[in-house]
Every structure is written in C-alpha cells, then in structure tokens.
Amino acid sequence: MISLHGHPSGRHFLQIPGPTNVPDRVLRAMHRATIDHRGPEFGGLGRAVLQGMQWVFQTRSPVVIYPSSGTGAWEAALVNTLSPGDRVLMAETGHFAALWQRLATRLGLDVEILEGDWRHGADPARIEARLAADAGHRIKAVCVVHNETSTGAVTDVAQVRQAIDRSGHPALLMVDAISSLGAMDYRHDEWGVDVGVAGSQKGLMLPPGLSFNALSERALRAAASARLPRSYWDWSAMLALNEGGYFPYTPATTLLYGLHEALDMLRAEGLERVFARHRRLAQATRAAVRAWGLELVCQDPAACSNALTAVLMPDGHSADALRKVILDRYDMSLGQGLGRWSGKIFRIAHLGDFNDLSLCGALAGVEMGLAAAGVPHRPGGVQAALDYLARPAAGLHEKG
Amino acid sequence: MISLHGHPSGRHFLQIPGPTNVPDRVLRAMHRATIDHRGPEFGGLGRAVLQGMQWVFQTRSPVVIYPSSGTGAWEAALVNTLSPGDRVLMAETGHFAALWQRLATRLGLDVEILEGDWRHGADPARIEARLAADAGHRIKAVCVVHNETSTGAVTDVAQVRQAIDRSGHPALLMVDAISSLGAMDYRHDEWGVDVGVAGSQKGLMLPPGLSFNALSERALRAAASARLPRSYWDWSAMLALNEGGYFPYTPATTLLYGLHEALDMLRAEGLERVFARHRRLAQATRAAVRAWGLELVCQDPAACSNALTAVLMPDGHSADALRKVILDRYDMSLGQGLGRWSGKIFRIAHLGDFNDLSLCGALAGVEMGLAAAGVPHRPGGVQAALDYLARPAAGLHEKG
Amino acid sequence: MISLHGHPSGRHFLQIPGPTNVPDRVLRAMHRATIDHRGPEFGGLGRAVLQGMQWVFQTRSPVVIYPSSGTGAWEAALVNTLSPGDRVLMAETGHFAALWQRLATRLGLDVEILEGDWRHGADPARIEARLAADAGHRIKAVCVVHNETSTGAVTDVAQVRQAIDRSGHPALLMVDAISSLGAMDYRHDEWGVDVGVAGSQKGLMLPPGLSFNALSERALRAAASARLPRSYWDWSAMLALNEGGYFPYTPATTLLYGLHEALDMLRAEGLERVFARHRRLAQATRAAVRAWGLELVCQDPAACSNALTAVLMPDGHSADALRKVILDRYDMSLGQGLGRWSGKIFRIAHLGDFNDLSLCGALAGVEMGLAAAGVPHRPGGVQAALDYLARPAAGLHEKG
Amino acid sequence: MISLHGHPSGRHFLQIPGPTNVPDRVLRAMHRATIDHRGPEFGGLGRAVLQGMQWVFQTRSPVVIYPSSGTGAWEAALVNTLSPGDRVLMAETGHFAALWQRLATRLGLDVEILEGDWRHGADPARIEARLAADAGHRIKAVCVVHNETSTGAVTDVAQVRQAIDRSGHPALLMVDAISSLGAMDYRHDEWGVDVGVAGSQKGLMLPPGLSFNALSERALRAAASARLPRSYWDWSAMLALNEGGYFPYTPATTLLYGLHEALDMLRAEGLERVFARHRRLAQATRAAVRAWGLELVCQDPAACSNALTAVLMPDGHSADALRKVILDRYDMSLGQGLGRWSGKIFRIAHLGDFNDLSLCGALAGVEMGLAAAGVPHRPGGVQAALDYLARPAAGLHEKG
C-alpha cells in the first residue's frame, strides 16, 4: 500500500468533521503494550475513563463505553430502551438523522419522522405539538441530533426538553451528541437527556473505535422492561462490571489509553475554554464564508455549528470537483455533501485538536481551491478570518 | 493513573491468551494520523485488509470486518443468518462456548446444548447423531468453538463438517476461530464452514477492537431470509461498500493500519511456518507441564491447543493465588480459570508474536512461581522445554 | 516537567530555521528498538545511509557521519585537514560564519576574516583578490557558509570555486551547507567543494544529533599530513569501518533509522522537486514581507534564501517582543535575531517537511502578531502569499 | 532495507553490553515533535536533565551533556584538563581502556600504561607505587575504567582514590563510568573523582547519542589552564549556558526527552534498588556459568561486574561461531570478544531495563546455543539461575 508511505511533503490538513486530528499526545498514549484486561492495572484505567466520560457528558448517571463506532451507540440507545413495534419520533435534521431513522426501522421500531429541510435544527414547537397530540402515549422516545454533522445546524436540546415537559408526555429523550461532545456545550443532566450518544473520533480527538451511551434513571428503568433482543449492547452486564473498572467482553484497550490521555487534555484546557475555542474558530470560519460571498447551509444564525461549517456551492458547480482540486493541490481533505446534499455542499471541520494558525491554513486552502476550481467567489475570506482572530477579544487566544 | 507509568523494570510478560503481545511494528503502524475514511487513500487500505483477511481465513468468500470486540462477531454470525426462535445446536466445550450460548439465548434463539466436560473438543459423533435425529430440520445451525480458549482443547472442525454431511442435515456450520486464526490451521473453505468468527487480539497480534465474520454462499443465502433484527451487524450494507474498500459507518482506522501491518508480517513468515512455530512452542510448554508433574486440562492428547496450555492446580491450591505471586514477583500475567474452572486452573498463552526465548522466560516464571506459592511440583519443567527446543528438528527455528 | 505535557490545543508551529519539523514517518522510524551496532543487520543500515548521504550531497566522494551536532562537523572539517597555525580565510556573512571563525581560532588556526555586513553572501571577487595576493600560499583553506541561517543570504559557491580557480591558489574550499542541504541545490562535486559540512536537523528533517562531512580527494590528501590533534573527528578510522557499514565507535542508531527514512522521503519527492518546493514557499514568504511593507535582511535579491526569510523590524520595535506575542497568542516559534541582529530581526523558516497550507498558517501568525504587537505594517501579506501560491505555475503543487 | 522490516517472530533479545534495551516509555518520550532549543519550554527540560544527571552521578558538581557517543566524552575529559605532552597514567584493564589510551596518544598526550591481563580491575597498589615514584609530579592524571565492558571486571574506584591520596600526588582522577552509571554504584563526590565519563546507551537505557562529563572543583581549575585545543568539547561555554538550561550549540533534543523519562524511571525505582537488581541478575548469571562448567573472564570474584558477564570459551571453540548460532536460531545478540579476546569470549549483558524472566530467556538461549554449537558444557545453567532467582532473598523481586 504505497500510498500510506508516499505522502507529499508536510502535514496533511484533515478538515473533515470526524475523524478529527489525533493529537500526538494521544497517539503516543496509544503506542503502548496491551495489558491484561482482567488484571489490577486495568481496573484503574477503566474506572478513570468511565468517570472522565461522566465529566465530559456533564452527568452523574453512568456512561457506557462500547468497542464500536458511533453507529453502534445509536443502536445501543434503542435496543436497551425499546420493544419491537415501539413508536419513536425522530426529527430529520439531515443525513445522520436519516441514517438513525433507517437503523431504527431496521430494528423493528415504528419510526415517525418530523421532516426537515436539512438547513435547520429540530423545531421544539413541532415536537411539542406532536407529543401533545399523542394522547395515548404511543410515542416512546423522541430522538434528535444535537449537532447535525451533515449540515452544521444545531438543535437546541434544552428547548426540546422543555417542549417535552410542556406536553406532559413521558417519552424518553435521546440525543445524538456524536459531533458535539467535547466541542460544544452538552449538558446531559441539566437538559434532562435520557440517552446521550457519542463517539471517540470527534471532540474527544481519538481515532474511531469507541462509542458511548450516557444514561439516566428513566433510561435505566426503561431498559428493565425493554424487549428488543440485545446482548453486545446490553447495558446491564456492562454496568455490573464497570463498577470495578472492567468490561463484560474484551475492551479496545489501546483506545482506552488514548481516551485517558484525551480526557487529561480536555481537563487541562477546561470545558469552558474548549467550547470557547471552538466558538472562536467557527466564527472566524463563518466570517471567511461571508467574505467569499458563499452561502451557509445552516439558515438559522443562532443554530450554526461551532464544530463544522457547511457551505453551499454556487449553482452549476460541483463540490466534489472542488474538494478534489483542494486535495490534489493543497493536500487537504474537506467533508463531502451527504444524502440530498451530495455534490452540492462542502464542509469545513474546525473541531477537536485545532488552533488559529491551522484554521488559517485550512481557509487558505479553501480560498486557493475556489480559485483553482473556477468557483465564483470574492477573495478576502482568509483576510476576514485574520481580522476576526486578531481581535484582542475575550483572551481566548492567550496561552494557558 | 500512576500505574501506567510506574511499571517495574524490564518488559512485562503478557502470557494471557489474548490480547496477545502487539509487535512493535504493529504499534508503529498504528501510530499514524487518521485519514479520511471516504477518501481515495482509504479505499486502498480497505481493499488490502479485506483481501488479506480472506487469505488468513483461507477462503474465497467475503470477510466482514467490524469495529467491535469478538463478542460482536458472535452476535453478527447469528443475527445475519437466523430468525427469532430458530434452533441452534451448540457444543459446550468450555466457558466461551457457554458465553456464546448465553448470547444466542438472549437474542431469542432456541439453544440446544451438547454438554461437555470442558476438557475435550466437541464430539463429531454426537453432533452427527443429534442431526440425524432431527428429521424435521428444526436445527438451523451448528456452533462450535475451534480452539476453546478457556480449556486449551481443540475441536476438529473438518470432522464436524463430515459429521454434518454424513447426517445429510442442512444446518449451517458456525465456528468460533477467535483464538485459533493466525495461530493454528483454520481452513474456512476446505472445511465448509459457513460463518467463521474471529477477533483482532489473538493470532492477528493486534490490540482488541476489530472482529471478523468469514462467510459462505450458504450463509449469504440464509442472510437473505433471516429475520432477527439487525443493523450494525448487517452484512449486506458492509459487502456493498467493501467492494471499493469502504465501510457503511466509520471504521476503526488505526486498527486497520495495524491489521495491514500484521498481515504483512504473517505473509512474510508464511502461514505454514506460523502454525509450525505455534506447534513447537506448545509442545515445549506441554513438556514443561509434564516435567512439573502437573495435569493438563485438555484430556485428549490429539486435541491439545497450540495457542495456549491450561494447567490444573493440585487439589487445595488456588490458581489465583499462584497467578498473583507470579504477577507480583515476576511481572507476568497468566490467564485465569473461567467459569467452572475459576481458581482451579491457570493458562499459559504461547500465541501470537512470540518465540523460543520468551517462552523460556515465561516457563521460568511459572516454575519459580510454583515454588514461591508452595505448589507441589517437580522442578525441571524449564529444562524439559529447553531439551525440546534445542533439538535440531524440522528447521523451524532457523531464521528466515 | 509539566510544560511538555500541558501544551495548548492544536499543533505548535515550529518555524525556526532548524531544528525543523520532523515528519511523522521519521519519528515512527526512530521509534524502534536499538540493534547491535556490530551485527549484520546494522551493516545494511549503515551502508544505505552512507550511500544516501552521497546522493544528497551530490558527490561520489565519501561522506562521514558523526554522532554530534553540526558544530562538531565544523570542527571535524578543520582538524582533519589543517595543522596548528595554518591560515584560513573565512567570509563573515553572519552569525554562524562568526561562530565558525571563533571555533577555528580556538583550535589554534590563524583566521583571516573577510568582513561582511551580514546582509549579503560572500563576495567571490574579494576572495579571488585575497588569494591572488597570497603569493606564498599561506592560506590553506577558504571557508564560506552556503546559506547563512542568521540572515537568509546565500553565497554562490560555484562562483567562489571559480574565484579560487582563477586565482590559481591551492587552498581547500570548505562550505557550511548546514541549512541548505536537502533544501537548496548543493553540488559538492560539480562545485569542487573539498569539505562540505551539514547537520541532520534542517533539510534532512531529523532531530538534531547527526552531522556530516562530505570529502574530496584533495581533502583526503590534506588529511594525510594535517597535524591538528584529532581522534573523535578523525576521518581515517571512520572511512575504514564505513566500508562495511560500521563505525569506529557507537553510532546514534535511532537517528540513523530516521535518516534512512528521511532519505527515502527525499528520494520519493526527488531533489529537483524538493528544491522547487522550497523556492516556491520562499517566494510566497517574500511576497508577504513585501506586502507588509517590511524589509528583508538580505539585500541581494538574487541571494535570498529559500530556506528561511529574515525580516528587519521597523526602528524602535523589538523583534523579541513580537516573537513573544506570537508564541503566546498563536503558539508559533520564530527564529530570533542572532549576534549583531539580536532583537532587530525575526526569521521565518520555510524549510524541511513543509507545505503551502502550513506556510499560510505561519504567515497568518506573523501578520496577526504584527498587529497584536503594534508593529507598523500594511495588512495583506497573507493575501499576497495566497495570490502567489494560487498561480497555476510550474505544476509544483500537484500531488506526486 | 528489507531486514529492518522482515524480522522473525517475537522480540529480539539484545544482550550486548550497550546499547541496551530502550524501555517503551523512553521510546515514547522521544516520539515527540522537536521544540525550539532557545525557547522557554526547552529551558525547563534542560535544567531538569542537568540536575537529574547530577543525581545519577551522585555529585553536586556540574555535569556536562554532549551530543556525541561516549568516545566523545573520553576526549572531552582529556582536552579540557590537559596540555600537549602532559603525562597520563592509564590502567590497561581491557579493550576499552586500551582505546582510551590510543585516543589520548592521538591527542598528543604522553601516555604511561599500567599493563594488565584483561581479567582484573586496576590495581590500586600499583597506582600508588607509580605515583609515589613520580616525585616531580609529571603525571597529571590517572585514568581508570570503572566497569571494563570488554571483560566484566570492575575497578574499585574508592580504593584508587585512597591510593592516590596516600601517595600525596596531585594527579587528577578520571573514571570511565560508561557501562556502570545507572547500573552499579558510582559515587562521584564521595570517591573524589575529578572527571567522570558516561554515555546514554547503557544503564541510562537510552539509544546512543548522548555522553557526559561529571566534573569537580579541581577539574574546573585544571580546565582554566589546560592548553589542548578544544571547542566542541569545551566545558566553559557549556557551563555558562547550562545555567538557564540551554546549550551553546544545538542539543540532541529527542535524546534529552528520552533522558528526562529515563531519569524518572530511575528515580521511581530508586538507585539502591536499581543496583540491587543488577547485582541479583548478575549473580544468577554467574550461577549459570558455573553450572555450565565454563570459566569467567574476570578472575577476581570480588570484582565481577553486575552489568555484564564475560565467559571464556573452551579451547578450540570459537565464540563467534557460538554467537552466530545463537543469533540465527534464537534471535539473540550477545557481546563479542574485543581486542585480545576476539573470538575467545562472549559477553552476556544484564544491564539496563531488564528483569528476571528476560534473563531466564537469555540464559536459555545461551544454554541451547552451547548445545547447538557443540561447545562442551554441562546442562543445568538455566536451572541454577532459576534456583537462585527463586530464593525469597532480600525482597528484591517484589513489585514496588
């Protein structure tokens, strides 16, 4: 596989919204001999990362760690809490919401979709109305994606919670926080989320291979009577062994080493500062997009993602052609358009282990790529980002 | 987590039967920036490892790679081929066979157990008799564990195949090759296995986090009509995207880098030589156990595992006390007794990236530990292993 | 040492003119168990890197590799070829030339300095005149720095050679190629250099710790009669053992692993393309400096370095204050002013494993830093670099 | 270079007396981006390792760190303290002592050799006698090798100091502690050593590439008037910059990262325990040699090295043939005979990051190799080592 060895000079710019750039510290932490997953040393590691994940989710409820990709954690959320034929209300905010729906359908659930235009977050008012109309409480769960990775539009989870509460409906609230956790504020307990779903390869700065369910008391009660068949994803065996820091089957040890290190890094920076840094980089990116005269996919200014920015191509121009030019000339990977946005948008991730100067390099690659691909735009996007980032605002860019 | 940094001097001897020692080459291969799992470079990696896994399984049928532990691949084998209430015949050769049974039951299958004494492989004659008696073909699958990791007893899969064939029964044959693949000869096509199950952390010398299903034409046909709910484990989406070297959800990229390297190592050594090396190290280990005057768990000399050796403790002596002494004094981890063997046996792995001198060190640790723990035994086990390994037999120990 | 672990988010921009950024491939290659430096495997490694260094130096004469920093190779060049009291003519092009002079003086040589203004390369005409005046051939060697790392001004070595030849003088020509080798064209044989001096941590993309002497027939003849005491630096023992790929004392094995990998990378890119890439990045940098309205240290447009760019601060502004602001706010290290330029200039390295987008990020850091530090300048430097780099010129930016 | 990638299965046993096995922790610590060696972060690193080296040398005087191999530190010791033609008294205890003598001669010193049989340490009484006879104090320095790596015989440095003191002679005492530091007790201040010489690749568990001089007040005074030409090795520039943790020329940054980590490991274990561990492993090795009926090179039982064991071959048998068999069959590197011992002895290192079970593996390789090579010996060496190591003595083998 020559290509893995024959890369061009300098560092590849990986600006897809996950997997994100793995910090050297995390790679180093994973470069370590495997240990006995039933031995005493492992228990300490297990307890530390389980507690650390509670801290990241901002919850006192247990967090379950799976050796799987994030898709597995979607499945786990459903099979642990629901029974065949149960109705779930799912807000279709974009491609990943649609994939979660398809997964639910395959598992034998009765999926009711709140359609969306893939340019906004989920609408709390519509959720409230729908639940209010469900007098028989046939709906067992409401599922929303916090940060829709395919569009860069954010759902206000706190408002969804309030909508559910106002409707007096007992449905569980399940939230996909896959691309928000560790990048944007996610408050599992305060927002009353019942199952939070996350993965390792976004704000947690790890390679893919771990996924997470953050639980609640209500979710655990639901699990006691849920009848979808489950074994690998079953919470109960997990929780029993997690007490001692162990797992019911062989965990992905090296990724847990990496998680331990990533948690250390997040703790050292502080969640508040992590979120502020993402906000700052996102604002600089949006300033660049505006300066180029291009249009954001997300149409709600209050809901624009701090993890990634999705940009609409001018009519008649292919986002994939642009991405190819940028990859070939400037060695940068951007996110592609997914589902109905295929070929029509590109996505710039500013997520994970990332900073001002790397963002400037990434935006420079986009601006030069737009020119090289003949995409109509105004120059000056990088300059606009510089102007934003050079402001002495908020002390965010001071070294800790 | 002080313990990860404060290890004692020298190298820990990790002699559990998985996770095995990860070669430095594989760790290095994994110490690499994540790449875009939808980009062109990734496709080459994906195709290479998918083809490599066919080579290891000795099959022309597709192999599916999951980001999960081996337990997930057990589940995948069942949910892709069976429907709720289907009967499966499972040979209870030890703890892992029992865990697979429990998993099948949880998934809603009707599990019929062929009980065993946890000291032998599965008995082909009993399987044949049971299938012959199943005139209505209620049994949909026969499940055996090739190398029972909890006992070190091997099931002769080729004979199981012949038994099924002789009975004229259409049941699928599913084989857990988790601790045999890459260590002992496993011939998926020649033996007519329908679903082979494996994991990354044994003979493949990787950290845990990947698992595998090797398929067959018949398994794929069964999948077309199987009705157990499935999404994460579903073969069809996998196979569609695997064509180009891609995956339907984010794969565990760094483990795939490692797999690529491990396959290179296995290819360089050659499967025949890999198997011969494991045989040689196993024979030396058994010579040591005999010299100590201890008893093997496996009572069938023709079925003793080349991947690990399970040893019975003399009455009244705790295997866990012995293991603790050995860990504390000699910094070696041995496998514990599982299930009904808990506390009564210990297991010495000689599996994966391993050689003569490391085995001698490991056996030295056992012999000194037996003395330190006051376990009745004869000295001379290491010497017996040396005598075996020093023979000029077979040229196995000549450097390539 | 908390600081090594507590770095801020994202990647540090190391833009000092050496040590340069070590590519991940090279770090991985060095992450390897030490081998017996007298064993057969080592010989292959030794021969490969010795031959590779001849290729980089563009010479058929031997290259000597020292476990030392580049300063050691300066010393080695002198002690192997000269005798106590020998006169050497050294062109004072900047701080490193001055350091080499001081070193020569300490070794007991009679150093004659061709003074310079630290803003130009060495003047061949002055060298020719001086040699022509040295009828008695008291001058034994002419020493010049190819790429003066402290000023970014290049000496035309081919012209120096011609100057010496025209004068008919037998002096040896010694060239410091420490920051040019592997970044700018250096032709040891074609230019008739007698001793070329280099280090590992610049264009060779390694950590510091190796240095080099490229020899010539005349240098070897001089060594036969040179009387400065020497042992560690002695070429003869080196050359004898280098035949088999070995060294007279323990070599820095891990750095040799890294050198092997770095040579592979340089070969894959091709020296021509490596030099063109450096030229391209340098031109973009100079475009930025011009746009900012700042002055280059190097006053000869034909002699501006492609490895680094040294920039004069406006009067009354401290380069070190600027560098501190940039380090604190934007996590980038720039080169400081050295010797007479201390505090008055800063240096931007664009050397080694480096590419367009990283350069854009680095220039963004400078531009934002100039603003933050209140240094008078015009904005638009980054934009000017973008404009240059976006040109479809020369196909340099196409992926290999 | 296929060989670096195509190694046989399992871990190579590197049992040469340096370079020793580099712990994974140290390799990881070195797998790190280079930092600005003039920046603030570097100063902290520099101060930490300089202080750490004082702790290892057990001195309050400064320690100088060179980017060079140990041979460089030999040269540094001499050129900093002596003048051309100065007489030095050097005890010829083996090959490395002889190499140091040759080096001194090349530097223009007048070397007086105290001849030895290469089977003992230096004789304090002969040193005393020689100094007593040197009424004119022509001898400026006495040089001894603490642990002669070529023979495994130790010189009692404290007694050498007393011998010098008794003679009332002002000569400096220089000690090569290259293969003892970090493995055997070396007390720079208590023993009154003036210059201690060491390298990174032995007890300090690093790759080669760093060397050390530990100084004394008297050595510094001698340096003030010494007239051997020096620049690279010059202490004064070093000491001036070391105050802030910096160096006068580019240091070998990555090796300093490794040194920092290795010092942490030594501190965690504690020097007393490090020395006890080496003693224990050495005694087990000598028990094995005795059991084989082979002869130690070192004829003084009180002076046998705890870092390595040199073994005489029976007449008519080639040590190099034995070493080749062992390398080819058992993938272990042993030390060769050097100088007058070439082909006649082999050396087993038990030095650095090493433990009981690895030693047992190494001794097993020797015992099987002796058989394979047809070298007359009694079996049972490994057993003898086991018997020794299994004793509950001294609590040395309990995990910290």
3-class secondary structure for B211-266?
A: EEEECCHHHHHHHHHCCCCCCCCCHHHHHHHHCCCCCCCCCCHHHHHHHHHHHHHH
Any chains having at least 3 CB pairs less than 8 A from chain B are A, C, D
Residue A336 exposure: Cα atoms within 13 Å on the Cβ side: 16
- Radius of gyration for the alpha carbons in chain B, expressed in angstroms and rounded: 21
A33 touches chain D (CB under 8 A): yes
Instruction: State the Cα–Cα distance between residues A212 and A197, nearest whole angstrom.
Output: 6
Identify from A26, A36, A71 which residue to disrupt to test chain B contact, counting B C-beta atoms within 10 A and taking the largest count.
A36
Q: Which two tokens stand for residue B79?
A: 């949910």
Q: For position D391, what pLDDT does the model report? A: 87
Q: For position D396, what pLDDT does the model report? A: 52
Whether residue B355 and residue D8 make contact (CB cut-off 8 A), yes or no, is yes
Per-residue pLDDT tens digits for B174-207: 999 999 999 999 999 999 999 999 999 999 999 9
What are the 10-residue block averages of pLDDT along chain D, 400 residues in total?
53 96 97 95 97 98 98 98 98 98 98 98 98 98 98 98 98 98 98 98 98 98 98 97 97 97 97 97 98 98 98 98 97 97 98 97 98 97 97 49
> What backbone torsions phi and psi does residue D144 show, to the nearest 5 degrees?
-130, 155
Q: In b/e form, how buried is each residue of B5-22, taking b as 16+ CB within 10 angstroms?
A: eebbbbbbbbbbbbbbbb
* Residue C19: cis peptide before it, omega within 30 degrees of 0: yes
Any chains having at least 3 CB pairs less than 8 A from chain D are A, B, C
In DSSP notation, D71-108 reads HHHHHHHHHHH--TT-EEEEE--SHHHHHHHHHHHHTT
Whether residue C71 and residue D27 make contact (CB cut-off 8 A), yes or no, is no
- Rounded to the nearest 10°, the torsion over CA B78, B79, B80, B83 is 100
Tokens 């130790």 belong to residue: D154
Q: Taking 70 as the threshold, does the pLDDT of residue C395 lie above it?
A: no
First to last CA, chain D: 41
Residues of A in contact with B21 (CB under 8 A): 33-34
Q: How far is C358 from chain A (nearest CA, A)?
A: 6
The pLDDT of B238-261, averaged and rounded, is 97
Identify from D69, D75, D204, D324 which residue to disrupt to test chain C contact, counting C C-beta atoms within 10 A and taking the largest count.
D69
Instruction: State the Cα–Cα distance between residues B141 and C392, nearest whole angstrom.
Output: 63
A365 sits in which H/E element: helix A356-372
Residues of B in contact with D371 (CB under 8 A): 390
Q: Which two tokens stand for residue A226?
A: 């849920």
Q: Which two tokens stand for residue B307?
A: 């991947």
Q: How far is D126 from chain C (nearest CA, A)?
A: 29
Whether residue C16 and residue D27 make contact (CB cut-off 8 A), yes or no, is no
CB distance D234 to D64 below 8 Å: no
Q: Which of A19, A38, A71 sits opposite B253 (nearest CB)?
A: A19
The pLDDT of C249-272, averaged and rounded, is 97
Q: Which of C21, C389, C400 sits opposite A8 (nearest CB)?
A: C400
B113 touches chain A (CB under 8 A): no
- Residue at C280: amino acid letter: R
Task: Say how many C-beta atoms besides its own lie within 10 A of residue A168's C-beta.
Answer: 9
Question: Residue B162, exposed/middle/buried by CB under 10 A (0-12, 13-18, 19+)?
Answer: middle
Residues of A in contact with D31 (CB under 8 A): 24, 28, 31
Q: For position A393, what pLDDT does the model report? A: 60
Beta-bridge mates of residue A282: none
Q: In b/e form, how buried is each residue of D170-198, taking b as 16+ CB within 10 angstroms?
A: ebbbbbbbbbbbbbbbbebeebbbbbbbb
Residues of B in contact with D351 (CB under 8 A): none
Q: Name the pLDDT band for C5 (thresholds 50, 70, 90).
A: very low
Q: For position C375, what pLDDT does the model report? A: 98
Q: Which two tokens stand for residue C382?
A: 């980054």
Q: How far is A33 from chain D (nearest CA, A)?
A: 8
Per-residue pLDDT tens digits for C173-232: 999 999 999 999 999 999 999 999 999 999 999 999 999 999 999 999 999 999 999 999
Q: Which two tokens stand for residue C319?
A: 């380069």
Whether residue C10 and residue A383 make contact (CB cut-off 8 A), yes or no, is no
**In degrees, to the nearest 5, what angle opens at C-alpha A337 toward C-alphas A336 and A340?**
160
Whether residue B31 and residue C32 make contact (CB cut-off 8 A), yes or no, is no
Per-residue pLDDT tens digits for C134-164: 999 999 999 999 999 999 999 999 999 999 9
Whether residue A69 and residue B1 make contact (CB cut-off 8 A), yes or no, is no
Tokens 């030849």 belong to residue: C165
Closest chain D CA to residue A25 = D32
Helix B356-372 and helix B271-292: axis angle, to 10°?
Answer: 20
Any chains having at least 3 CB pairs less than 8 A from chain C are A, B, D
B358 touches chain D (CB under 8 A): yes
CB distance C309 to C285 below 8 Å: yes
Whether residue B31 and residue C28 make contact (CB cut-off 8 A), yes or no, is yes
Q: Which of A21, A208, A251 sits opposite B250 (nearest CB)?
A: A208
The pLDDT of B41-59, averaged and rounded, is 98
With a CB cutoff of 8 Å and minimum separation 6, the contacts of A201 are A18, A19, A20, A70, A207, A208, A209, B34, B250
With a CB cutoff of 8 Å and minimum separation 6, the contacts of C321 are C373
Q: Which two tokens stand for residue A147?
A: 């940060």
- Surface of D (317-346) touching C: CB under 8 A: 327, 333, 336
Q: Which of B348-352, C6-10, C342-346 has the lowest mean pLDDT?
A: C6-10
Beta-bridge mates of residue C141: C88, C172
C7 touches chain B (CB under 8 A): no
Q: Which of D12, D27, D207 sits opposite C253 (nearest CB)?
A: D207
Nearest residue to D158 via CA among D134, D135, D180: D180
Residues of C in contact with A13 (CB under 8 A): 357
Q: For position A76, what pLDDT does the model report? A: 98
For residue C334, the SS3 value is strand
B28 sits in which H/E element: helix B24-30
Q: For position C122, what pLDDT does the model report? A: 98
Which DSSP category does C303 fall into?
G
Whether residue A333 and residue B45 make contact (CB cut-off 8 A), yes or no, is no
Q: Taking 90 as the threshold, does the pLDDT of residue A17 lie above it?
A: yes
- Surface of B (255-314) touching D: CB under 8 A: 264-265, 268-269, 274, 277
- Residue at A320: amino acid letter: D
Report the share of chain C in percent with pLDDT over 70.
96
Q: In b/e form, how buried is each residue of B277-315, taking b as 16+ CB within 10 angstroms?
A: bbbbbbbbbbbbbebbebbbbbeeeebbbbbbbbbbbee
Nearest residue to C352 via CA among C26, C69, C49, C21: C21
First to last CA, chain B: 41
Per-residue pLDDT tens digits for C17-60: 999 999 999 999 999 999 999 999 999 999 999 999 999 999 99
Q: How far is B252 from chain A (nearest CA, A)?
A: 5
Q: Name the pLDDT band for B393 (thresholds 50, 70, 90).
A: low
- Rounded to the nearest 10°, the torsion over CA A244, A245, A250, A254 is -160
Q: Which two tokens stand for residue D33?
A: 């981006």
Residues of B in contact with A326 (CB under 8 A): none
For residue C71, the SS3 value is helix
Whether residue D28 and residue A28 make contact (CB cut-off 8 A), yes or no, is yes
Beta-bridge mates of residue C197: C176, C213
C95 touches chain D (CB under 8 A): no
Helices (H), B270-310: 271-292
Q: For position B391, what pLDDT does the model report? A: 87
Q: Taking 70 as the threshold, does the pLDDT of residue C400 lie above it?
A: no
Task: Say how many C-beta atoms besides its own lie within 10 A of residue B102's C-beta.
Answer: 13
Q: For position A23, what pLDDT does the model report? A: 97
Mean pLDDT over each residue of chain C, to the nearest integer: 95
C32 touches chain B (CB under 8 A): yes
CB distance B97 to B90 below 8 Å: yes
Q: Which of B5, B355, B392 sits opposite D331 (nearest CB)?
A: B355
Per-residue pLDDT tens digits for B211-247: 999 999 999 999 999 999 999 999 999 999 999 999 9
Any chains having at least 3 CB pairs less than 8 A from chain A are B, C, D
Q: Which two tokens stand for residue B234?
A: 């579903």
